[in-house]
Structure 1
Amino acid sequence: MAKATKKQALGRGLSALLKDPQNDIKSAEDKNADKLVGHIVELELDSIEVNPFQPRTSFNEESLRELASSIRELGVIQPITVRKLDYNQYQLVSGERRFRASRLVGLETIPAYIRIANDQESLEMALVENIQRQDLDPIEISLSYQRLIDEINLTQEQLSERVGKNRSTIANYLRLLKLDPIVQTGMRDGFLSMGHGRALINIEDPQLQLEIYEKIIANSLSVRETEKLVRNLQEGKPESKTAAPALPKNIKKSIKEFSERLGTKVDVKVAKKGNGRLIIPFSSEEDLERLKKIIQGEE
């Protein structure tokens, strides 16, 4: 406990140093820079701006609320990392979820490591830190790899060294970006795994790729079944009929209730993770308006 108190006191001392205009630190060569870089500092949330280079564009609201609840009880356990822009102005390099959750809780300050980095270094740090996360989907990882190659001018060999991954692994991720955008969206939404994506890459015809994608969703095909389907198509073999898996009783009941309420046959596509899509067909603009009124409770 005494150790934690000492660390907090050190943070407050450094915060006071940063607020002194006479000690404004802008480079590693400036006076007192050694006291700042690499240490934990309590920074005001209002002095920090989000990172425009942040490769992650979506944040799960429920997950943020859970993190905010943890921070409310335990505080911010892992400091964020920022880079210094100007006097009392900082930019996030990593830790945007912790930053957002701290705002939700209503904190005024947050523990942070301060780095002195240019835009290119900041982008590289943000991308590499983002890739190390465990909750990224394959497309997010692929896009981060591609940005490192394009914007930092790294070769695949250099990228392999930076992120600690085999070059073949990086190449497999980058190939996913050749998939049709609809298929990529399916991967981001959890309908397809990376294994499904790697199988679909071998289909060059975009329309055929989408047709197979629909079959994977409709029949909940495994990666092995998808690979076999792709292989048969490439070899000109007739497609084997795969029976769609039986839907759980509660989902069947819900479909029936929807169909009776809406006066039209409703279909559903369910992924293995339990998420899915509800498909409500309509025959005309008038029929669409009728369905909308029912859903809105006007009929």
Structure 2
Amino acid sequence: MAKESKQKPSRLGRGLSSLIGEVEASTPAKPEPGTGAAPAGVNEIAITSIRRNPSQPRRTFDEAALQELAESIRTKGILQAILVRPDPKDAGKYQIIAGERRWRAARLAGLESIPAVVRNVDELELLEVGIIENVQRADLNPIEEAEAYEALMSRFGRTQEGLASSVGKSRVHITNTLRLLQLPDAARAYVREGKVSAGHARAALGAPDPEAVIEMAAERGLSVREVEALVKGARDGGSLETRSAKPKAAEKDVDTEALEADLMRQLGLQVDIRHGQNGGELRIKYRDLEQLDDVCRRLTRRKT
């Protein structure tokens, strides 16, 4: 087994603040608007001179959220400097250590430069900080997280215990996350896109055909427990199709259907009321964030 790297794991384990250190502690987070001046220790670097981190584990960025951040940057500026290192292969250029989302949004906002703290870090630190930043902020999807852990283990000889210490996760979490890499590529795509959870994916790994199970779970909205039951049945020799149907919903009484119809007229959205022995659920289905925002306004509107 490769030897565990000993390059400053304790510093990385404390997160990004230890890299930025005294700069953030002694200077304001935002330069004066319109002055073009950056706080001491922070450089204004041209957007075109900065490159994304090639080891950045995060591959997907929400375009709508980036546009919102870009609009905020247009009106308020950059509230926190990004962290970069000199590009080892291109003099005068920089690679992002942390803050790629801010850099992308700054480009969308039309900025020519961005405040940045420059730090000299090696390849191991570059990859670890990218993982730590995204894991702590829950920015990675489970597959990206698994691929990042695998890269640290294969490229730098990290053990699962070392990873757990560096990123602040349990050994069990690291092990369970790495198991997702056993999925075929088509099945991983469902997890990347958020169509099924990591729990669904881990449950599906026990099936003779995990990809078919995950596809079925996504299309039929199966719960993790339903996937577990489906996999158990498949292992026992049952047919995937005959065991995949969700249980039929109990028939609703006339009063419940009338209440659903009344709420649907008021909200203009699909409403589903489900009763149970210990209470029930009210489900309102919306198509997009605009509809959700409209429902929230209706529910929080004060009567005069």
TM-score tier after normalising by the smaller chain length: 0.5 to 0.7
Among residues 42, 62, 78, which one is paired with 1:76 in the alignment?
A: 78
Instruction: Report the counterpart of residue 189 of structure 2 in structure 1.
Output: 185
Among residues 139, 146, 161, which one is paired with 2:143 in the alignment?
A: 139
* Structure 2 unmatched runs, 5+: 1-26, 250-284, 289-304
The DSSP-based 3-state class of the residue aligned with 1:190 is: coil
TM-score (normalizing by structure 1)? 0.65
Measured in 2, the distance between the counterparts of 1:226 and 1:273 equals 25
- Number of residues paired by the alignment? 223
What letter is aligned with 1:210? Answer: E
Instruction: Tell me whether 1:216 sits opposite 2:217 in the alignment.
Output: yes
Instruction: Report the counterpart of residue 161 of structure 2 in structure 1.
Output: 157
Deviations 1:199-220 (A, max 9, x none): 01112x3xx2233223323322
Structure 1 vs Structure 2 CA RMSD: 3.2
Q: Larger helix proportion, structure 1 or 2? A: 1
Measured in 2, the distance between the counterparts of 1:123 and 1:212 equals 33
Shift of the 274–215 alpha-carbon distance from structure 1 to 2, 3 Å rule, reads farther
Q: Which entry has the higher C-alpha Rg, 1 or 2?
A: 1
Say if 1:176 and 1:197, in contact at 8 Å, map to a contact too: yes
Instruction: Measure how far apart 1:190 and its partner are.
Output: 1.7
Measured in 2, the distance between the counterparts of 1:94 and 1:180 equals 30
TM-score (normalizing by structure 2)? 0.64
Measured in 2, the distance between the counterparts of 1:48 and 1:59 equals 18
Measured in 1, the distance between the counterparts of 2:145 and 2:170 equals 14
Instruction: Tell me whether 1:228 sits opposite 2:229 in the alignment.
Output: yes
Shift of the 244–47 alpha-carbon distance from structure 1 to 2, 3 Å rule, reads same
Deviations 1:154-211 (A, max 9, x none): 00000010000000000000001101211111111222111101101112x3xx2233
Measured in 2, the distance between the counterparts of 1:274 and 1:210 equals 27
Instruction: Measure how far apart 1:7 and its partner are.
Output: 5.9
Instruction: Measure how far apart 1:244 and its partner are.
Output: 8.0
What letter is aligned with 1:231? Answer: K
Measured in 1, the distance between the counterparts of 2:159 and 2:243 equals 42
User: Greater RCO between the two (CA within 8 Å, min separation 6)?
Assistant: 2
* Structure 1 unmatched runs, 5+: 15-38, 247-271, 276-299
Measured in 2, the distance between the counterparts of 1:191 and 1:4 equals 41
The DSSP-based 3-state class of the residue aligned with 2:134 is: helix
Measured in 2, the distance between the counterparts of 1:131 and 1:185 equals 19
